[in-house]
Amino acid sequence: MVSRSKSQIIGEIGEYLTCYEILKSRSWIARMQQFDYGIDIEAELMETGSHGHTVKVQVKSSDHLNVNDLRYVKIRLEKSYLLQYESYALPVILVVVDLLNERCYYLYLQEWIALNSSRLSVSLPATEVVEIPKVNTIESGLSGEWKHIAKKETDFQYRKLLFEVEQMINLQEHQSMAKAFRELLNNRIESGRSLVLTTIGDIVDKVVGLGLEIRGTEDGWEVSQILFRICREFGEYFTKDHIFKIVVLKDTYSRVGLSALELLYDNYFSHTSSLRLPDAFIDYFDIQYYCRLRERYPGVTGIVMACANPMEYDWNIDGYGLSYKTLDILPNKYANRGPMAFLHYLQKLE
User: Global pTM?
Assistant: 0.61
pLDDT score at 177: 55
Q: Tell me how far apart the alpha carbons of residues 39 and 56 are, in angstroms, rounded to a whole number.
A: 6
| 141 or 234, higher pLDDT | 141
Q: Grade residue 234 by pLDDT with cuts at 50, 70 and 90.
A: confident
* Burial of 96: CB neighbours in 10 Å, binned 0-12, 13-18, 19+: buried
Mean pLDDT confidence for 111-127: 85
- Asked if 306 and 332 touch (Cβ cutoff 8 Å), the reply is no
Look at residue 152 and tell me whether its pLDDT is greater than 90: no
Q: Tell me how far apart the alpha carbons of residues 131 and 120 are, in angstroms, rounded to a whole number.
A: 14
Nearest to 29 by CA among 179, 198, 146, 203: 146
Beta strands in 46-116 (DSSP E): 54-62, 72-78, 92-98, 103-108
Taking residue 328's Cβ as centre, other Cβ atoms within 10 Å add up to 11
Taking residue 309's Cβ as centre, other Cβ atoms within 10 Å add up to 11
- Asked if 22 and 30 touch (Cβ cutoff 8 Å), the reply is yes
> Which tens digit of pLDDT belongs to each residue from 238-296?
889 899 989 988 777 888 899 999 999 998 998 899 999 999 898 899 999 999 999 99
* Burial of 244: CB neighbours in 10 Å, binned 0-12, 13-18, 19+: buried
pLDDT score at 235: 86
